[in-house]
Amino acid sequence: MEGIKGYILKRWQYLLKKITWSLFTILFVIILNFFLFRILPGDPARAGVRDPRLTKENIEAIRVRYGLDKPIINCFESLNPIKIGSCTVNPLDTQFFIYMGNLLQGDMMISFHTNQPVAEMLSERLWNTIVLIGAGQLLAIIFGVLFGMFSAWKARTAIDYGSLTLSLVAWSIPTFWLGIILLFWGSNNGMPIAGMSTPGMSSAPLLTRWGDIAQHMFLPTLTYTIVYMGEYMLIMRSSLLDVLSEDYILTAKAKGLSVFQILKDHAITNAMLPLVTIIAINLGFTVGGVIQIETVFSWPGLGMTTVEALNRRDFPVLQGAFLLIAVTVILSNLLADLAYSYLDPRVKTE
């Protein structure tokens, strides 16, 4: 018998473990991000200093500031045939450590395209993406859970088969294509189809401006909701079906509880557990969807920035955007894990 004390201790251990693990993952992503851009053929150091859009002074400034003429890292000579370093170099005087140092100060280089600091550019766009994901995710979860519950409760009826089929179809539609179809429909019905607000709105009163943004958000959010609702519905359905065939539901029924009481007090919490896990695991996947939606609807978020940077071969922005996206996903994942540990008392250290 563990006792309540042991139980609380275990929860703290669990939290500590999860946080440490997230930090480690972030470190892994930073290192991966650095080497991807230095080792793969499209090396930004070489690409950057040859970029015709930059003036000579700019190139020189970049060189010095980011140490692009220094070896990437020391002491790889004997291990790596590419020979990207020399053991005689001071390890701190290499591109890797300069990059890490800059990153710690929030410096993610300067955009080749706009000459704006990358960090500044991205932080603005991050919020637009979070607004979109937040709204879409919320709606997708609400509708997915509701439909899933209904479907499971009415299992093996026409309602169930109907919503199951719709969910599978929604799950199979490429996000960007659904976006295009909705865009097509929207443009024929006078919906705003691009960007986040109508030009020239910045001087309008606050409420009008928000209303305008909401209008612009409608189609992207709808796309997002449809695509992810299907998946959440499928998971909720199967998880609730599992829960409803558990023995403790029979106990609840024998206790004389009504169907509504059983669902509310015994089934939903247990059925939500797998959903929380899936939401967490899916976050990385979700970002993929948002990139497509932002591209189709020209929503000025991180996704669109990434695609733009890609087309312009603006490597510092690409690198920064990837890092920011990855770190955001890892942190949200951590959040979902913590939520899980509060929902399920069985969470142990293992």
Partner 1 sequence: MEAHIASTTQVTSRFQDFWGVFRKNYMGLVGLGMLVTAIFVAVFAPVLSPYDPSSTQDVTTGDIYNAPSVDHWLGTDDAGQDVLTNFIFGARVSLTIGFFAAFISLVIGGVFGIVAGFYGGRTEEVLMRFTDIMLVIPDLPLMMVVIALTKPSIFNIILVIGLLYWTTTARVVRSQTLAVKSRKFVLRARSIGAGKGHIIRHHILPLVMPILVVQAVLVVSSAVLAESTLSFLGLGDPTALSWGQMLNYAFGRGAMSTGAWWALVVPGFGIVWVVLGLTLLGQGLEQVLNPRLDTHHLMPSRPTVKSEAAQRSSEKSLLEVKNLSINYISEGKPPARAVENVSFTLKEGELIGLVGESGCGKTTLMLGLLRLLPSAGQIVSGQVYYKDQEITALSDEELNKIRWRNVSIVFQGAMNALNPVRTVGDQIAEAIRKHLPDFPAEKLPARVSELLELVGITSEHKDYYPHQYSGGMRQRAMIAMALACEPQVVIADEPTTALDVMVQAQILDLLDQLRKKLGLAIIFVTHDLGVVAEICDKVLVMYGGVTAEYADVDTIYNSPSHPYTQELLKAFPDLTKPKKKLVSIPGYPPRLDALPAGCRFAPRCPLAFARCHTEQPALHELGDTHIVSCHLVEAPK
Partner 2 sequence: MSQQTLLEVRGLKKYFEAGRPGFFSRTVRHVHAVDGVDLNLRKSEVLALVGESGCGKSTLSLLLMGLEDPTEGMITYDGQNITHLNDNERKSVRRKIQMVFQDPYESLNPTQTIEEIVTEPLVVHGFDGSHAERGEKVKKALEDAGLRPAEVYMKRHPHELSGGQRQRVVIAGALVLDPEIILADEPVSMLDVSIRAEIINLLAELRITRQIAVIFITHDLGSVGFFADRVAVMYLGRIVEIGTMLDVLERPQHPYTKALLSVIPVPNPRMRRERIILQGETPNPIDLPTGCRFHPRCPVAIATCKASDPALIPLTKTHQAACLLLVK
Q: Which is nearer to partner 1, 25 or 58 (CB)?
A: 25
- In this structure, the chain runs to a length of 350
**Nearest approach, Cβ of 236 to partner 1 (angstroms)?**
14
Instruction: Determine contact, residues 62/54, Cβ cutoff 8 Å.
Output: yes
**Nearest approach, Cβ of 48 to partner 1 (angstroms)?**
13
Residue 277 in the binding site for partner 1 (CB under 8 A)? no
**Nearest approach, Cβ of 118 to partner 1 (angstroms)?**
15
If one counts every other C-beta atom within 10 angstroms of the C-beta of residue 12, the result is 10
Position among 7, 8, 9, 157 found at the interface with partner 2 (CB under 8 A): 9
Instruction: Determine contact, residues 89/71, Cβ cutoff 8 Å.
Output: yes
Residue 168 in the binding site for partner 1 (CB under 8 A)? yes
146 binds, among partner 1, partner 2, none (CB under 5 to 8 A by kind): none
Binders of partner 1 in range 119-158 (CB under 8 A): 152-153, 155-156
The site string for partner 2 over 12-31 (x = CB under 8 A, - otherwise) reads: -x--x---------------
Q: Which is nearer to partner 1, 65 or 255 (CB)?
A: 255
**Nearest approach, Cβ of 199 to partner 1 (angstroms)?**
18
Position among 66, 111, 306, 316 found at the interface with partner 1 (CB under 8 A): 306
CA angle 251-253-258, nearest 5°?
145
Q: Which is nearer to partner 1, 74 or 237 (CB)?
A: 237
The tokens describing 7, both together, are 């139980």
Q: Which range binds partner 2 by CB under 8 A, 9-17, 33-41, 125-133, 269-277? A: 9-17
Q: Which is nearer to partner 2, 12 or 285 (CB)?
A: 12
Residue 281 in the binding site for partner 1 (CB under 8 A)? yes
> In angstroms, rounded to a whole number, what is the distance separating the alpha carbons of residues 117 and 122?
9
Position among 54, 73, 333, 340 found at the interface with partner 1 (CB under 8 A): 333
**Nearest approach, Cβ of 338 to partner 2 (angstroms)?**
18
Binders of partner 1 in range 35-64 (CB under 8 A): 36-37, 40-42
One-letter amino acid for residue 345 of the chain: P
Position among 77, 176, 198, 335 found at the interface with partner 1 (CB under 8 A): 176
13 binds, among partner 2, partner 1, none (CB under 5 to 8 A by kind): partner 2
CA distances from 80 to 46, 93, 321 (A): 20, 20, 29
Using CB under 8 A as the criterion, which residues of the chain lie in contact with partner 2 when the complex forms?
9, 13, 16
